[in-house]
Amino acid sequence: MITTLLPNTSAPATSAWELLSFDSFAHAFLFCVLTFLMIVGMKKQYTFVKTRHYAIRYSLFICTFYGIGIELLQEFVLDGREGDIFDVLSNTIGCLSGILLFKWVYKQ
């Protein structure tokens, strides 16, 4: 996830269609994996029953706001980076894909 804070010149050139660019795919893929693993981790713990029961909701909330936070950091804190609404959308699509992947893998 640190790669989302690297300067934009390290990413390959993007096409005219922002949502079909390599950058958007990378965001969606990383957040898909993050959300999937977070759900699995929350489901496999037995200390906090409520967290286990609402793992999908908590993971979606945490990962979505993590993605928004990264874009806000890029826009207002980091030099050489700009926050992008398409990245937020790609992150959210990745989060939803992670939930679908979890439901498919674990048949829930």
The answer to whether position 3 is within a domain reads: no
| Tens of pLDDT, residues 70-108 | 999 999 988 888 888 999 999 999 999 999 999 999 987
Query: Has residue 49 been placed in a domain?
Result: yes
Q: Is residue 26 part of a domain?
A: yes
Residue 88 tokens, joined? 């937020």
Average pLDDT, the chain: 87
Asked, for residue 61, whether it belongs to a domain, the answer is yes
- When mean pLDDT is compared across 27-31, 50-54, 75-79, 100-104, the lowest value belongs to 75-79
Domain region containing 101: 20-106
Residue 11 lies in a domain: no
Q: How many domains does the chain have?
A: 1
Within a domain: 84: yes
Amino acid 4: pLDDT: 60
Closest CA to 11 of 2, 22, 27: 22
**72 lies in a domain?**
yes
Give me the mean pLDDT over the 59-69 stretch: 97
66 part of a folded domain: yes
Average pLDDT over residues 9-23: 61
Dihedral sign computed on CA atoms, order 59, 103, 30, 95: negative
| DSSP secondary structure letters along 15-45 | -SSGGGSHHHHHHHHHHHHHHHHHHHHHHH-
